[in-house]
């Protein structure tokens, strides 16, 4: 506990800490989208979030840590969506799955995603994040396509898993192409 004039100030609860981390990560994503990863400073994120620089450093070690948090947050959003599709009584087929994913693309997230891919070509820590996020999303797509092949197309599970791998790979590639297209066609500061 920290001593404060007139008494003790309670520590942040775990839930409050997580909300603060999310607030900071969302501010970072907005800054990254507007200014680019390289040109965004912790001071920019501080101003965007309304929090002190010290508060940001209390939650994140550095900007790279914020990039990782932003990548994880975007992946979690996709994971929840894709997981729901796979668990449905009638999972969407590959074309419908891709259509749903591309319809949900946020231009801000698309710009940050493309910038993160660029950073991944020169920064091993960012490359690890991008490769992990891509592999995890492809695995989720694989699960969803497998569920569709088994539940809708009536394939046996083992052959369905094998066939789903190539389909999931193509869906992932087309989704990434759509992210790039969205990032390039939507001017900074505008939404889709």
pLDDT digits 0-9 by tens, 11-34: 668 888 889 998 999 999 899 889
Would you say residue 3 lies in a domain? no
Would you say residue 191 lies in a domain? no
Q: Which of the four pLDDT bands, split at 50, 70 and 90, describes residue 7?
A: low
CATH number at residue 32: 1.10.357.10
Would you say residue 115 lies in a domain? yes
Would you say residue 42 lies in a domain? yes
Backbone angles phi, psi at 182, to 5 degrees: -65, -45
Q: Is residue 118 a contact partner of residue 103, using CB atoms and an 8 Å limit?
A: no
Cα dihedral 123, 104, 42, 9 sign = negative
Q: What's the average model confidence in pLDDT over 95-104?
A: 94
Q: Which of the four pLDDT bands, split at 50, 70 and 90, describes residue 8?
A: low
Tell me how long the chain is.
192
- Number of folded domains that form the chain: 1
Facing residues of 7 across strands?
4
Would you say residue 72 lies in a domain? yes
Facing residues of 2 across strands?
9
Model confidence pTM above 0.75:
yes
pLDDT of residue 191: 45
Q: Which of the four pLDDT bands, split at 50, 70 and 90, describes residue 10?
A: low
Would you say residue 110 lies in a domain? yes
Mean pLDDT is lowest, of 16-20, 64-68, 88-92, for 64-68
Residue indicated by tokens 């066939």: 163
Would you say residue 156 lies in a domain? yes
Domain range for 47: 10-185
Would you say residue 96 lies in a domain? yes
């Amino acid at each position: 506990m920290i001593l404060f004039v007139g008494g003790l100030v309670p520590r942040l609860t775990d839930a409050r800490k997580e909300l603060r981390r999310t607030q900071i990560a969302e501010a970072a994503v907005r800054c990254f989208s507007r200014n680019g990863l390289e040109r965004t400073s912790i001071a920019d994120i501080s101003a965007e979030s309304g929090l002190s620089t010290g508060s940001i450093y209390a939650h994140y070690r550095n900007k790279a840590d914020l990039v990782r948090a932003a990548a994880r947050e975007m992946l979690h959003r996709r994971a929840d969506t894709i997981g729901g599709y796979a668990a449905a009584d009638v999972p969407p087929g590959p074309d419908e799955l891709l259509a749903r994913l591309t319809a949900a693309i946020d231009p801000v997230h698309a710009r940050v995603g493309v910038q993160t891919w660029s950073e991944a070509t020169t920064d091993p820590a960012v490359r690890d994040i991008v490769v992990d996020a891509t592999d995890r999303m492809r695995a989720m797509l694989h699960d969803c396509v497998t569920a569709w092949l088994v539940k809708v197309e009536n394939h046996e599970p083992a052959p369905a898993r094998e066939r789903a791998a190539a389909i999931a790979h193509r869906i992932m590639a087309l989704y990434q192409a759509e992210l790039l297209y969205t990032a390039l066609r939507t001017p900074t500061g505008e939404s889709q």
